[in-house]
Structures are given as C-alpha cells and as structure tokens.
Structure 1
Amino acid sequence: MLQHGEWECKLNTVGACAINTWPDVNDHFKFIHCVESLSDDGKYREWKTCFKKLKLDPKQVTECFTGELGHKLELQYADEIGALKPPHEYVPWVVVDGKPLKEDFANFVSYVCKAYKGSKVPQACVGLSLNQDSAKPFNNVCYKEDNNAKSKSKVSKSM
C-alpha cells in the first residue's frame, strides 16, 4: 500500500537495494540514514549524492533500483509487513521479541536490552533503566488509512 506517494516508494526500494548490497547493518545504515536525512529535508531527488558523500560505489544499488531485483525486494518487504501479527497500524512499526512497541518506539534500546538473553551485556545497555513504563511515547507516526478511507495521518517521517 502506497502511503506517502511516489518518492516514498522509490526510496523504500533504494533502501531495500542498499540492504541487499551491503547486508551488514554497519555498512548499509549510514547510506540509508543519509537518504532519510535528505528525504526529511524534502530533497528526495538528491539521494544519489549519498554515494559520493560516503565514498560508496553506486553500481550495485543503482542496478538493483532500476532493475527487477529492486521491485522483487520491495514486494518481499511488503509481504513481511503484511504478515505482521498484530498488523501494523502506522509507520514506523517497531517490533522487539515479537511485541510491537506501539508509539514508544523511540525507546527501543530499552526494550532490546530487556529482551537480551546473552551473558555479555551490550555497551548500549550498561547503566540503562529498563523500565519502559516511565518512557515518554514518541508521537511522530503516520497512521494507515482506516476502512472509511479517512486519513489519520500525523507528521510523517518516512523513507
């Protein structure tokens, strides 16, 4: 479902292609963050400048984006989103340990730390309060349209 227009769809495909090209989050995150930042500033068409800014080879991402693979990846992610239980109500829809964080997604690190089962505590969790109930919800979400096709959109921050 296209929620926020043509550029959101295009840039979602760019992000999917970046993840496919550089599967390690340490590799694709900076690129996607760069694209998101441009999008936040209304500079959607300038996404390719992120390659030069980050000294990345654009070939694989560009070929993916303009080819069949980009479309295939976008459909794959759409299927994954469609299979969420409970279904997502808005974006971003963050799930930790099978539980949606609802509008408290800004505190996801606390949830991840609470769910972590390993023996070595990750640095991000050291000294962190794990009481999510005291967390203040972040209300910068964008709702899907309801069954009456009446928009419930709030401020949208999307790719």
Structure 2
Amino acid sequence: MSTPPGGSNPDQTRHDIQQTRAELGETISALTAKTDVKTRARTKTTSAVGGLRQRVTQAGQSAKTRATKLAHTMSQKTSQRATSVKQDSQHTIGTVRGSLRAGAQTTGKAESTLITSARAATVKIGSLVRTKPVPALAATGTAAALAIVAYRRRRFR
C-alpha cells in the first residue's frame, strides 16, 4: 500500500480539506461583508446617530446645569439687592420720622423741611429701583433660559 506524498493518511487529508473549506468560508464571508455597501452605510449611520444623540443629551444636561446655577446666582443677587433696598427704605423712613417729630415742634419752616425730606426720600427710593433693575431682568432671563431648555428637551425626544 502506498501513502500519499507528505506521509499523511486519508483521515488527516479529510481533516485538512475540512479545515481549508472552513477557512475559505470565513474568507468569503469577510469579503461579502466588505462588499455589502448598504449594510456598512447603515452601520456607519447608526453609529453617527448614536454619537450625535449622546452629544445632544450632554449639551442639554450642560445647559440645564448652567441654567440652574444661573437661576440660583440671580436669586441670591436679587435677595441681596432687595435687602439693600429694604435697609435704605428703613433708613429713609427713620429720617422722615425724625423730620416729622422736628416738624411737629417747629413752625411752618419745619413743615416745609419735612415735605422736602419726604420728597427727597421718595426720589431716592425711586432712583434706587430705577438704577438697579437687575432683579427683574434676572428673573426674566432665568425664565427665558429655562423655557429654551424645556423646549429643546421636548423637541429632541
């Protein structure tokens, strides 16, 4: 009995053939996948859309965080300004009351001083409110920022 060249037996040859066929099948599958343009395009599109969604979500979260911080900061500033205006008003009221007491003790000249003091206090309070409109603007800006964030979140869902 003669043996094929290389000294292998028929079972070994069959095994080699099966292994070669399996490798050839894998090679053909890889080539088919590379030539399937439609599937490759879908895969790229899916990954691009996923990345875009992730970036949009991160941007939305970042905007929400910024809006929350801004609202908090503006709330603090508004509170500080309101306290300042309240203190100024109390000081002015004290001054007016002092002038009123002095006016009650004196003649018409004291009354005109009282009226002048009251008018000056009114002008001072009015100018304080006009020169520091930030609390009203801060509330408006915060509301607008939150509305934009809410609109974008609904739009991208």
User: Structure 2 length as normaliser, TM-score?
Assistant: 0.19
Q: Which protein has the bigger strand share? A: 1
Give 1 or 2 for the bigger CA radius of gyration.
2
Higher RCO by CA contacts (8 Å cutoff, separation 6 or greater): 2
Q: Which protein has the bigger helix share? A: 2
User: Structure 1 length as normaliser, TM-score?
Assistant: 0.18
